[in-house]
A and B are shown apart, each in its own frame.
Chain A
Amino acid sequence: MQLTAAEQTLLRTRPHTTKLHLSVFQPQAVFKAQINDASIAQGEINITFDNVTLGAYTDIKYDMMMYVGTTPGGDDVGRIRCRSATSTYIEVAENGFIMWTDDLYLTVVNFFEIESKYPRIILNTGTTSTTWYKDYDTPYTNENEIFGVFICMGSHYAGMLNESGQHLVYYTATGTAHAVGNETPDEYYWTFEGGTPSTYTGVTPGWVTYTTPGHYTTKINVSGTNSSYDASYRHISIYGNNSPPVLSWELIKLEGNREAGGYSATIRIRQNVSDNFVRDGSLVVIFAEDWYGDTKQSIGGNAPNRDSIVFVGYVTDGTIHYDWKDKYIEFEVLSPSGVMKLTESFAVSVEDVDDPAAKAAAKPEYYPSAWALLQYMTTSKALYHYLRWHSTVMKCCDVEFVGTKQLIQYADFDRESLYSAIDTFMRSTLRGRAVCDAQGKFWLETDIYTESPRYRNPFRIDAQDYMGEPTVEERLTPTVSFVEAGGIAYGGQTATGTNTPYMSGAPGSSPGYRGTIQRIQGLALEDQDHLNDLAGRIYSYETRKYPRVEYDMVGNYRNFDIAPQEQFRIYIPSDKNPRGSAINEEFFVEGMMWQYDPQRELFLPTVTFSQIPSNPIQGTTIPIPPIPEDDDGFDQPPIEIPLPPIPPIVIPSIGGSFPIFVAATSALDVGSQVYYPIEWFGAKLVNGSDYEGYALFASPAAGSVTITPVVKSTSTVANGNLRCKTSRTSAGCGGTLASSTTGYQTIAASGDSTILQCLSQTLSFSAVIGDIIQAAFYRDGNSLSDTVEGDIHLLGFNVSYA
């Protein structure tokens, strides 16, 4: 926070004295009843009730919490968000974790917690189409065309009546901003339970007076000029002498940092408290009385005139621990961001269009629901959509978006948790983060080093502000050698509508010699220059020389906080730096850790700063290769591959007996004129029948060709004679068939099946290169001169040339 000159003078007035007080908000019950449904089952959302002992169903408002327990007011069975109520049943959020049974006690309280709202998609009966709902049964009408506001109305609050029996609380909606760039909030309507005035219309009600101790809820309704409507609630606890806050307690730990996204505290209560005084999800406010010298005044906090509020958070589920021996209750408290980390969410994806309803109606095969389409989407609209329709975050804490409302075509929010969805979107799209300050305000900011100086805080830390010497971490070896960044400059629906990708690298075309490569993609960009600037700044930040400078402050310096980011000039003279060199650079607050000594009333922080590079380098453009035109992948560029020269084919002259073997291809039963394929040994020529075997080959040479049949007995029989002839039919391409034969001869043949026989029957004829020659071997098995008593196989022909 920026201090006035008077505040700065006071801050440096010693001694600092701080008394911290602990408030645990006790929600007021508005409705009490019991379940009246003997058949109620797990997953029920319409809870029928009877035995109303407090209030009426009309007192139940949307998003109020309901405790479900086995005793009146108990929440041992669970707690659930209410959505609506009738005279007979309460409609709650979709659930499966509550074991509903008849006669359980229901307690609806005027309290709003951070919860998810689940979407629901149902398959339309008999079709493949779906209908989408938000928060179980909210159908789409025009929600993605009318965007509302991020409400800022101040933190949850606690304070004590003064000697006059009054306590004044300051209210303003300054900082409330529309998610749409050119829209403005129109009307603000306040309701102050327990306060005077009780209502107000306008941005800044100013001071509201409380005179009665109690726990109250303030509501604001904000409407926009575009007919948007949003609401938010803050809980106010007022204490008095007869109803004090928790008195006997210890602050074990209070610390926060930007990486964690907020603060965490561990608190111990040592006094007797009633059952359910501290519940899972209870709102905790630590507030202070401060003195600077003799002046009683609080300095600090981002919310206007809420300087006394030190920390706001919620009791983390499952951390309440009772120590019966030493008689204390201990629990952990987290900033709203911490609660969001523990809150389940659903993945949400949305796309930019000009008319969500019309687009979904026209192309249901592409756009199953208008809920998945945002009109003229920007980063802030996407964030608003997610927070508004998938959580109660904006009902429970201030939210402020600090960044460019960049046009984007797609927005994806992951499923991990409510916090992860928002933080991941900020990091990947805008190079930013989602961080809660100590008072529980949710800041959605781009990282401070990505822009020219922003929020330069003139406060200069000097030797009177810190104890001892600062701790300086100096990085001599970079941990990042190269940053490769990429993203899309989207022209939107109303402008050019173009989608231009850009890439950039830093420190330039040549990476550093030490460190890793960091790749960043998915950034929402304006143009190449924007990306080059961003890549350079990211590289400069990742390789900054002073990643950490830490101070133990001498007093209650609550003007420092982890959000929003502010730029501080830190000067450390050489004699204060153990490294011996002076430091004079810009820094921002990365983390804070508080120590409270109640006996000495000292509340002292350790503040961790991180350097903002003063002269960031500029990234360089990485050209993106053109996108191939078709969908089959990249076109192969024409590559001329010269054919290798074909060497001349030299056919060796075949002279003399140079046999080649040509195998048999088929056999013919001459009697039945049936052709048979070869068996594994050749063409079978059956005993006692007339069979002819064939071989086909091309003449590899010119000259006299001699063919000799090669046979083998199929099974061993007695030797004998074969009555057979060898013939041929041949021709060149386009030529006339020529044939010749040996005529029938009786040839001696062995009956031994292990002997390969080249018969003494040859046929010679002339041929030229390329002649197609069919050689045939005829067994006249019917002849009495054929005395080999068994089948034979024609294996083929030996062919020789002269």
Chain B
Amino acid sequence: MTYKINGTTLSTQPTTGQWMPREPAGYDGNGHPIYPGVRSFELNWDIIDASSADQLQDWYVAAGNTGTVVAQLPYFISGSYTFFPYSGCVINEPSFGQHFTEHYTQVTLLLTNIRT
């Protein structure tokens, strides 16, 4: 079970991954929250090497104006821990923290508009 983007395994698997909590757009007249229909998933790395960082950045640039990729992620809430390829995900530009020796720390990649 590995994280993939466009069918390619991430050269460095994330340290952590998380389905981000959705902020409700509001509450209806009965007080029920109105959630958007799409979700976000955040991948975090404590430290990765330069080539892995470059791989993340390349996926973002390659997405271009369409901005969508197929991301294989942990299935959103299932009875077992399995992965599923979600299509039409919007890949945001990865963020990088401080350099440590020849590595990048605190790397985050956010995938949005995921239909689960």
Interface residues of A (CB under 8 A from B): 14-17, 244, 247-248, 271, 291, 462-469, 552, 554-555, 576, 597, 599-602, 604
CA distance A271 to B67 in the complex (A): 12
Contact A468 B27, beta carbon cutoff 8 Å: yes
Contact B26 A15, beta carbon cutoff 8 Å: no
CA distance A464 to B28 in the complex (A): 6
Contacts of A555 in B (CB 8 A): 34
Contacts of B65 in A (CB 8 A): 247-248, 271
Is B61 located at the chain interface by the 8 A CB criterion? Answer: no
Given contacts A244-B66, A599-B112, contact A464 B37 (CB under 8 A): no
CA distance A291 to B90 in the complex (A): 17
11 more CB-based (< 8 A) A-B contacts, given A600-B38, A601-B36: A14-B35, A15-B37, A17-B38, A247-B66, A247-B67, A248-B65, A465-B29, A466-B28, A552-B26, A597-B36, A602-B36
CA distance A528 to B32 in the complex (A): 53
CA distance A434 to B28 in the complex (A): 34
Contact of B32 among A464, A576, A599, A602 (CB under 8 A): A464
Contacts of A597 in B (CB 8 A): 25, 36
Contacts of B67 in A (CB 8 A): 247
Interface positions of B from 41 to 84, Cβ below 8 Å from A? 65-67
Minimum CB–CB distance for B49 against chain A, Å: 30
Contacts of A16 in B (CB 8 A): 37
CA distance A291 to B32 in the complex (A): 20
Contacts of B112 in A (CB 8 A): 599
Contacts of B101 in A (CB 8 A): none
Minimum CB–CB distance for A468 against chain B, Å: 6
CA distance A232 to B63 in the complex (A): 41
Minimum CB–CB distance for A472 against chain B, Å: 13
Q: Of all chain A residues, which has the CB nearest B30?
A: A463
Given contacts A17-B115, A599-B113, contact A467 B38 (CB under 8 A): no
Minimum CB–CB distance for A239 against chain B, Å: 12
CA distance A579 to B26 in the complex (A): 22
Minimum CB–CB distance for B116 against chain A, Å: 10
Contact of B36 among A462, A552, A600 (CB under 8 A): A600
Contacts of A247 in B (CB 8 A): 65-67
CA distance A465 to B90 in the complex (A): 29
Contact B26 A468, beta carbon cutoff 8 Å: yes
Most buried by A among B28, B32, B35: B28
Contact B37 A467, beta carbon cutoff 8 Å: no
Contacts of A466 in B (CB 8 A): 28-29
Minimum CB–CB distance for A421 against chain B, Å: 43
Contacts of B29 in A (CB 8 A): 462-469, 576
> Chain A binding site: helix, strand, loop or mixed by DSSP?
loop
Residue contacts A-B, CB under 8 angstroms, 6 given: A463-B28, A464-B28, A465-B28, A467-B25, A467-B34, A600-B38
Contact A602 B25, beta carbon cutoff 8 Å: yes
Contact A467 B26, beta carbon cutoff 8 Å: yes
CA distance A761 to B113 in the complex (A): 134
Minimum CB–CB distance for A549 against chain B, Å: 13
CA distance A569 to B67 in the complex (A): 43
Contact A554 B37, beta carbon cutoff 8 Å: no
Contacts of A600 in B (CB 8 A): 25, 36, 38
Contacts of B32 in A (CB 8 A): 464
Minimum CB–CB distance for B27 against chain A, Å: 6
CA distance A576 to B28 in the complex (A): 12
CA distance A14 to B37 in the complex (A): 8
Contact A17 B37, beta carbon cutoff 8 Å: yes
Q: Of all chain B residues, which has the CB nearest A595?
A: B25
Most buried by B among A244, A468, A600: A600
Minimum CB–CB distance for B71 against chain A, Å: 16
Contacts of A468 in B (CB 8 A): 26-27, 29
Contacts of B35 in A (CB 8 A): 14-15
Contacts of A15 in B (CB 8 A): 34-37
Interface positions of B from 85 to 116, Cβ below 8 Å from A? 90, 112-113, 115
Contacts of B66 in A (CB 8 A): 244, 247
CA distance A468 to B30 in the complex (A): 8
CA distance A33 to B107 in the complex (A): 58
Contacts of B25 in A (CB 8 A): 467, 554, 597, 600, 602, 604
Minimum CB–CB distance for B84 against chain A, Å: 15
Given contacts A601-B36, A602-B36, contact A467 B115 (CB under 8 A): no
Q: Of all chain A residues, which has the CB nearest B88?
A: A19
CA distance A554 to B26 in the complex (A): 8
Q: Of all chain B residues, which has the CB nearest A551?
A: B29
Q: Of all chain B residues, which has the CB nearest A600?
A: B36
Minimum CB–CB distance for B88 against chain A, Å: 9
CA distance A599 to B38 in the complex (A): 9
CB-CB nearest 3 A-B residue pairs: A463-B29, A17-B37, A15-B37
Minimum CB–CB distance for A462 against chain B, Å: 7
CA distance A199 to B25 in the complex (A): 47
CA distance A14 to B34 in the complex (A): 8
Most buried by B among A15, A248, A271, A468: A15
Contacts of B36 in A (CB 8 A): 15, 17, 597, 600-602
Contact A291 B28, beta carbon cutoff 8 Å: no
Contacts of B30 in A (CB 8 A): 463-464
Q: Of all chain A residues, which has the CB nearest B31?
A: A463
CA distance A15 to B115 in the complex (A): 11
CA distance A464 to B67 in the complex (A): 34
CA distance A16 to B35 in the complex (A): 9
Q: Of all chain B residues, which has the CB nearest A244?
A: B66
Q: Of all chain A residues, which has the CB nearest B29?
A: A463
CA distance A103 to B112 in the complex (A): 53
Contacts of B34 in A (CB 8 A): 14-15, 467, 554-555
CA distance A15 to B26 in the complex (A): 12
Contacts of A465 in B (CB 8 A): 28-29
Q: Of all chain B residues, which has the CB nearest A576?
A: B29
